[in-house]
Amino acid sequence: MNYSPLYYIYQPSGNPEAFTLLLLHGTGGTEKDLLPLVDYFGTGFNVLSVRGNVQENGMPRFFKRKGMGIFDEEDLQFRTSELHQFLEQIALSEKFDASKIVALGYSNGANIAGSMLILYPEFLYGAILFRPMPPFRDKQPKQIQKAAPIFIANGSKDPTVDQDKNALYAKALGDAGFSVQEHQIPTGHHLTQQDLALAAEWFQTNIKS
């Protein structure tokens, strides 16, 4: 496959056994956007923040879409495989443990992280999904051996998502063996302090440094 490298920022912890927090921005973001969130989660882990390779009217994304809420699933599958290969390669070159990656994705970034949970269900150690949508119409997550922890925060007033489909998505992940903690935040699509406080608490409980 003709994969392209991704722009990234890597901040090592200095500990070869540390977890790596993978930051995946929303539409129009860059590899710098989510870096200010890192401080909420403590210290002692590596940080890897990447920029999506797709452009939509000059705005970076991780995969193409055909319209608002309508994903180009063929491109999503390709870009997920591209990201997966990138992570395996960058783990070798930056010398971190590829089995201890925790994705933190917002919106478009949460959706490609969710796609990875379906296409490569044993790859991520865990994931924080802020404002996700089901990445595929028909693909369901496969049964996994390890109960990888997943944090999901939806906005109960978010006009961009179908709340019923999101509930089924969280249930499907749980049924596949993921350990899902889901929250409904009384807000729209934007992130709030409550999102970050809950995610930080989840991180301290589920991700052992």
Residues annotated as catalytic are 107, 158, 189
What's the Cα-to-Cα distance from 42 to each of 26, 58, 89, 168, 199, rounded to whole Å? Answer: 22, 34, 26, 32, 12
Give the chain's length: 209
Cβ pair 70, 76 in contact under 8 A? no
Environment class of 36 (CB within 10 Å of its CB; exposed 0-12, middle 13-18, buried 19+): exposed
CA–CA gap between residue 181 and residue 179 (Å, rounded): 7
Other beta carbons within 10 angstroms of residue 135's beta carbon come to 24
- The answer for residues whose C-beta is within 8 angstroms of residue 82's C-beta and 6 or more apart is 1, 3, 4, 6, 53
Instruction: Report d(CA 156, CA 38) in Å as an integer.
Output: 25
